[in-house]
Amino acid sequence: MKILVTGGLGFIGSHTVIALQKKGYEVIIIDNLSNSSLKVLEGITSISFKTPEFEKLDLRDKLGLKEFFVKHQDVSGVIHFAASKAVGESVENPLLYYENNIAALTYLLQNLVKLPEQNIIFSSSCTVYGEAEDLPISEGAPVKKAMSPYGNTKQIGEEIITDTCKANDKLKAISLRYFNPIGAHPTAEIGELPLGTPQNLVPFITQTAIGKRKELSVFGDNYPTEDGTCIRDYIHVMDLAEAHVVALERIMSSKSKENFEVFNVGTGIGSSVLDVIKAFESASGENLKYKIVDRRPGDVVAAYADTQKANKTLGWKAKRSLGQALKDAWEWEKSQDKS
């Protein structure tokens, strides 16, 4: 069975390709290489001994996309990762985000609804919940007004898919709302490749430990949490990757009654920034240099997932620990330093 992975050379995409190959799927990747590299294809091959089919294509290229689907009518499912993901950049350049994340999604769906098999998994984010009133956060929690154009594209993306499902009986979709994906493949052949200075906590930690950054700034220690730092739900990227495969299998086997469903993908465990630092130090054996600075505007105090729906309905549960994820992230960082 052939699965199309858009953005399949990116961080979560590449790990999902591995999870798909492990289950015997044939994978075809589309990526425009704007935030990824062909080296990732080599990394995938050295893990799975299978090179996925690859086409360099930008989803905004309407004609190119149409031609792609004319050639690949036999795609049984699509996992759609290709999108821009930097919150700050989206505030500076909102139109880029609306074009990359919204226009591209509509073009993809226009082609998908003409295929014999119409299944799509959408990359969404816990950012749609904003500062949730109840913890852990369940899928029933209200979607809040987005704080950034990036967050807005995830909300609008879900709405576009909902409406398209209503108008097309054959279309089945699942939106996965990710909490905080971290880590790397345990072989250290693939991992996260942040462009420039990392905005996310874990790549900043590993780059500091290796000496690429002077020290980590911890954004605020006066939040209403036990140690005063913010709480997040950090999930190993391979656990997240495997959630995509089970979600796709659910819609491909028509197990769901609804043709659009939403699932939280997290571990259900909340960790503070200081917890992550301590866990990193013990996983790596390194001492991390850090200082407490002002809060970062826009950060929510705490977010962690109620995972019951994913556990029961998808039969999926995160199985890797925070320590394992940080160890894998560290091994990946060290392997990058050598190359």
CA dist., res. 319 & res. 333, Å (int):
22
Q: Are residues 241 and 316 in contact, defined by beta-carbon separation less than 8 angstroms?
A: no
Q: Which of 150, 178, 234, 304 is catalytic?
A: 150
237 near ligand WQD, rule: CB under 6 A: no
Closest CA to 92 of 149, 131, 133: 149
Nearest distance, CB of residue 331 and ligand WQD, angstroms: 19
Tokens 């749609």 belong to residue:
128
Site for ligand WQD in 85-104 (CB under 6 A): 85, 87
322 near ligand WQD, rule: CB under 6 A: no
- Interacting span for ligand WQD (CB under 6 A) from 52-60, 97-105, 196-204, 262-270: 196-204
Closest CA to 229 of 178, 280, 271: 271
110 near ligand WQD, rule: CB under 6 A: no
Task: Considering the complex, state which of residue 225 and residue 256 has its C-beta at the smaller distance from ligand WQD.
Answer: 225
Task: Considering the complex, state which of residue 269 and residue 273 has its C-beta at the smaller distance from ligand WQD.
Answer: 273
**Type of residue numbered 81:** F
Nearest distance, CB of residue 148 and ligand WQD, angstroms: 8
Nearest distance, CB of residue 2 and ligand WQD, angstroms: 27
Confirm whether 150 is a catalytic residue.
yes
Enumerate residues 6+ apart whose C-beta is below 8 A from 166. Answer: none
Q: DSSP label at 334? A: H
- Interacting span for ligand WQD (CB under 6 A) from 95-103, 161-169, 200-208, 312-320: 200-208
Indicate the SS3 state at residue 97.
helix
- Interacting span for ligand WQD (CB under 6 A) from 7-15, 69-77, 163-171, 193-201: 193-201
Site for ligand WQD in 279-308 (CB under 6 A): 296, 299
Element (H, E) at 175: strand 172-178
Strand order in the sheet with 75-80: 53-56, 26-31, 2-6, 75-80, 119-125, 172-178, 260-265
Tokens 């821009």 belong to residue:
84
Task: Considering the complex, state which of residue 252 and residue 300 has its C-beta at the smaller distance from ligand WQD.
Answer: 300
Nearest distance, CB of residue 123 and ligand WQD, angstroms: 7
CA dist., res. 154 & res. 149, Å (int):
9
Residues in contact with ligand WQD by CB under 6 A are 85, 87, 125-127, 178, 180, 199-201, 204, 216-219, 230, 232, 273, 296, 299
Positions marked catalytic: 150
